Amino acid sequence: MENKRISAFEKSRRLASLMAKDYAQDFLKLLVIYNDISASEAAARLGIHIKTAQDFLEGLERSGILDKREAAEGKRPYFRYFLKERKVTIRFDLDELYDPEACSFQMAWRIRERKNSGALFKEGRGEKISAVDVFHGKGRSRKQRRYNLTECQGRFLFHLPFPTEELRTFEEISRRAGIRDDCLHEVMDIVEVLISCGVIEKAGY
Amino acid sequence: MEQKAKLKPVQVGMWLFTLGLFFAVVLAQILFGSLGFYWVFGSIQFLFTVMHFFVLLRTRYLIYLIPVSMYFLWGLTFLPPLADHPWHPYFAGVSAAFLFAFIFVLISKRINWRYKEILELAAQPVKETTDGFTHRPFPTGPADFTRKDALGLSRYLKKYVVVFPFLESDRVVLVIPEYMWLYMVLFKKSYQNETYVAFENSGNVTVRIARRDYGKYKEELTFDQLCVSLGGLFKQFLQWYRDGEPEKILDRLNST
């Protein structure tokens, strides 16, 4: 499922990257004009390196815009490329980037603040945290990164158990903090980040 | 049974302040002789007069008239230009009377800043020492009070210099600073790095213990228990205030 989501996005990203090249418009125009074209012909026509032309053609082929056929005209075999699609649409579903079903098992996570995490919590007005400063590295290479929090994230972290308290489930903390259902996903996002930074401890983690 | 003290004994800042004044007086004596001594010593009395006058203004606790008068009269007694003033002997005599009054006030703990007492009382029920410090405020749960109650308690505690209150639209924050002078005299406006207990309009009580104050304990007391205990202490104060027995608060603080 995850791979499928990534590939859908990746495909769009790669295609968009190809279209962003300086020579993309001229190159595509050639592909419209010519019945088929080789990398060396396109490179000579556009005045670009043959490797650049080859990469562009292969990229379009991988994206399903072009097709290719092998040719051998008295020399070693090479590929000639031709348009398979004459209309290009970049389209993907943003909702595919996040799986809301993951929420159900995260709700059962038992978490609390990690002992001596070193994080600095900036207090906001009205029972919430407004930002968390997390430190990476040691000595002179120590770096600080600040995560500014949304209202819901701030309220959740305010009610996160202290390092010496019993671990509590995500669901229980959310209930105590009065987190709305439509906020749960953004709260889970920051919790995952803080777990990876070693600020939040998860049972069995 | 007497409880074993859980706080380290020394307040470094106050010692440094006192030592600084002492050395200023000694230096003045060495550099300028007795005239220099009297100028510096007399000026220090006026400095203390101003400091206590600010506390008097901010707390409206009339007992502070005693130190204000005492230090003022000492200033008049020791400053060289007034040495030949015809009333000079009276300044000295009356200041001595105020000195005795001040000693009585201090012994009876009518003037006593309560930072150490509060931290000590908060620590008494905490037996475990598993550390767990965090900068986050701790929600100690709901209590039965209105904003009016919290405001009343804050006024009472400010009068007796137990806490310095900050009145915010959504809560009443009772700050427990190590150096109350910073708030009373120097008008410090932020409590970002201080220990506090906040009575939220929502009915919840939140506690934060500053790292510096936590470091004052001899042992690394289990942090959430310490926060719960501090919150519980102030909930009890609030209850006594609501019950019309606020004097119990001072008795409790004086009991440590």
- Summarize pLDDT for B203-238 with one digit per residue, the tens: 999 999 999 999 999 999 999 999 999 999 999 999
Q: Which two tokens stand for residue B3?
A: 């409880």
Label residue B199 by pLDDT band (50, 70, 90).
very high
Chain B residues 78-107 with a CB less than 8 Å from chain A: none
Instruction: Answer yes or no: are the C-beta atoms of B98 and B75 closer than 8 Å.
Output: no
Q: Which two tokens stand for residue A77?
A: 């075999």
Residue A2 has pLDDT above 70, yes or no: no
Nearest residue, CB atoms, B135 vs list A121, A125, A161: A121
Residue A127 has pLDDT above 90, yes or no: no
* Mean pLDDT estimate for chain A: 88
Instruction: Answer yes or no: are the C-beta atoms of A197 and A134 closer than 8 Å.
Output: yes
Instruction: Answer yes or no: are the C-beta atoms of B143 and B199 closer than 8 Å.
Output: yes
CA angle centred on B199, ends B139 and B178, rounded to 5°: 85
Q: What is the pLDDT of residue A1?
A: 46
Please give the Cα distance from B224 to B230 (Å, whole number).
10
Q: How many CB atoms lie within 10 A of CB B171?
A: 22
List of E strands, chain B? 138-142, 164-167, 171-176, 195-200, 204-208
Q: What is the pLDDT of residue A74?
A: 67
Query: Percentage of chain A surpassing pLDDT 90?
Result: 57
Label residue B20 by pLDDT band (50, 70, 90).
very high
List of chain A residues whose C-beta atoms are within 8 Å of the C-beta of residue B224: 161-165
**Least Cα separation, residue B223 to chain A (angstroms):** 7
pLDDT, tens digit (0-9, with 9 covering 90-100), for B71-113: 999 999 888 888 888 888 888 889 899 999 999 989 888 888 8
Label residue A89 by pLDDT band (50, 70, 90).
confident
Residue A94 has pLDDT above 50, yes or no: yes
Contacts of A24 (CB under 8 A, 6+ apart): A18, A56
Q: What is the pLDDT of residue A5?
A: 52
Task: Give whichever of A71-85, A86-100, A113-127, B152-166 has the largest mean pLDDT.
Answer: B152-166
Looking at chain A, which residue has its C-alpha nearest residue B227?
A162
Instruction: Answer yes or no: are the C-beta atoms of A112 and A165 closer than 8 Å.
Output: yes
More confident residue, B231 or A71: B231
Give the alpha-carbon dihedral of B151, B212, A123, B230, to 10 degrees.
-40
Residue B141 has pLDDT above 80, yes or no: yes
Query: Percentage of chain A surpassing pLDDT 70?
Result: 94
- Determine whether the interchain pair B171/A123 forms a contact, defined as Cβ–Cβ distance below 8 Å: no
Alpha helices in chain A (DSSP H): 2-19, 24-33, 39-46, 50-62, 102-106, 151-158, 170-177, 184-196
Question: What is the pLDDT averaged over residues B34-47?
Answer: 91
Report the number of secondary-structure helices (H) and strands (E) in chain B. 9, 5
List of chain B residues whose C-beta atoms are within 8 Å of the C-beta of residue A151: none
Q: What is the pLDDT of residue B119?
A: 94
- End-to-end CA, chain B: 11
CA angle centred on B208, ends B117 and B5, rounded to 5°: 25
Residue given tokens 């290479």 in the structure block: A141
Residues found in chain A? 205
Nearest residue, CB atoms, B132 vs list A120, A160, A164: A164
3-state helix, strand, coil in chain A (%, to 5): 45, 20, 35
Please give the Cα distance from A143 to A149 (Å, whole number).
19
Please give the Cα distance from B219 to A164 (Å, whole number).
15
Instruction: Answer yes or no: are the C-beta atoms of A82 and A35 closer than 8 Å.
Output: yes
Instruction: Answer yes or no: are the C-beta atoms of B200 and B170 closer than 8 Å.
Output: yes
Residue A199 has pLDDT above 50, yes or no: yes
Label residue A204 by pLDDT band (50, 70, 90).
low
Residue B3 has pLDDT above 70, yes or no: no
pLDDT, tens digit (0-9, with 9 covering 90-100), for B43-54: 999 999 999 999
Please give the Cα distance from A94 to A16 (Å, whole number).
16
Chain B residues 217-256 with a CB less than 8 Å from chain A: 222-225, 227
Nearest residue, CB atoms, B200 vs list A119, A127, A162: A127
Q: How far is CA B150 from the centre of its chain?
A: 20
Residue A205 has pLDDT above 60, yes or no: no
Please give the Cα distance from B65 to B98 (Å, whole number).
10
Can you name the residues that pair with B206 across neighbouring β-strands? Answer: B139, B198
Instruction: Answer yes or no: are the C-beta atoms of B88 and B75 closer than 8 Å.
Output: no
Interface predicted TM-score of the whole assembly (ipTM), two decimals: 0.76
pLDDT, tens digit (0-9, with 9 covering 90-100), for A128-181: 999 999 988 777 888 889 999 999 999 999 999 999 899 999 999 999 999 988
Residue given tokens 């019309």 in the structure block: B244
Q: What is the pLDDT of residue B102?
A: 92
* Mean pLDDT estimate for chain B: 90
> Which residue, among A89, A71, A90, has the nearest Cα to A81 in the 3D structure?
A71
Q: Which residues of A touch B (CB under 8 A)?
A: 113, 115-117, 119-121, 123, 125-127, 129, 157-165
Class of domain A2-83: mainly alpha
Question: What is the DSSP pairing of strand B171-176 with strand B164-167?
Answer: antiparallel
Residue B58 has pLDDT above 50, yes or no: yes
Label residue B13 by pLDDT band (50, 70, 90).
confident
Please give the Cα distance from B79 to B185 (Å, whole number).
23
Please give the Cα distance from A180 to A156 (Å, whole number).
11
